[in-house]
Amino acid sequence: MPQRLMLLDTASLYFRAFYGLPDSIRRPDGTPVNAVRGLLDMIARLTTDYPATDLVACWDDDWRPQWRVDLLPTYKAHRVAEAVPDAPDVEVVPEGLQAQLPLIRHVLELAGIAIVGAPGYEADDVVGTYASTAACPVDVVTGDRDLFQVCDDGRRVRVIYTARGMRNLEVITEEAVVAKYRVLPQQYADYATLRGDASDGLPGVAGIGEKTAASLLLKHGTLEGLLEAAERPDGGVSAPVRARLAAAAQYLEAAPAVVRLVRNLALPTLDEAGARLRPVAGERRSQLEQLATDWNLGGSVRRILTALDLRE
């Protein structure tokens, strides 16, 4: 099988699994395991339907990095459950899901699935770095539109988009981004900055929506080019748009660095991370099979083991 890398926006998937399956699915001790089961089923299906030889579960070591907050204090502010001095803030996570995060990591480790995070950075930045440096085709699995930035038809990098559910997956290529949003993937961060994104606490520029943002970037190329043109009387920017950009000047100075993915993290290589998918054998297989009973994981363990057995 030709090498193909799959990168999971892991938090996006386990949140979807938690809300997609009833939390009445529990271990004998009462701990819910719906997110564990759902995530295993997702991985089994994804690696089968979109054959991957290598897989990395990209992890949020810091879901709201302080350097991004310093640039834009509203960044994900509505999702903070508790501010923690000198440490990552506590995110609003349902108690039933929070209890499953150690279980998820344990099961993934037993299955031999690489988990990679980076201190001070989000999973998106891990995805951005691997997707930008991989020497093979890449599938990024996420429900987050910000990761459309990585789409690159020339390098065969695409997004498997989960926003409409696992039964309605969308394959987002560079061509698809252009068709849907009228911007190139490399313009997507500027586009998101202009139009805003309430889910990430990005206010955007008042009065500039998706269509206007796309048309401005089509004409001026980049946000920097647009702002330079707005400073010139003959720059081709209308007076109302110039006024809106001027009113948002402080935001526009800070937000692009917040929205853009980091693509140069010092991460382990795929080999160092243990990204190659292989059948699970020996003691780890025995432990997983036992957990299927002890943790009420049903057929989810069997499905992930079967999917990995195909890598023989």
- Tens-place pLDDT, residues 117-155: 999 999 999 999 999 999 999 999 999 999 999 999 999
Q: Which residues contact 232 (CB under 8 A, 6 or more apart)?
A: none
Query: Is 312 a residue whose pLDDT tops 80?
Result: no
For residue range 57-99, what is the model confidence (pLDDT) as tens digits? 999 999 999 999 999 999 999 999 988 887 888 899 999 999 9
Query: Is 276 a residue whose pLDDT tops 90?
Result: yes
pLDDT-derived band at 42 (thresholds 50, 70, 90) equals: very high
Q: Give the separation between CA 33 and CA 51, rounded to whole angstroms.
A: 27
CA angle 90, 96, 101 (to 5 degrees): 65
The helix/strand/coil state of 228 is: helix
pTM: 0.96
Q: Give the separation between CA 88 and CA 26, rounded to whole angstroms.
A: 29
Region 234-263 average pLDDT: 96
Residue 126 · residue 58 · CB < 8 Å: yes
Nearest to 176 by CA among 184, 166, 168, 187: 184
For residue range 172-222, what is the model confidence (pLDDT) as tens digits? 999 999 999 999 999 999 999 999 999 999 999 999 999 999 999 999 999
Give the pLDDT of residue 311. Answer: 84
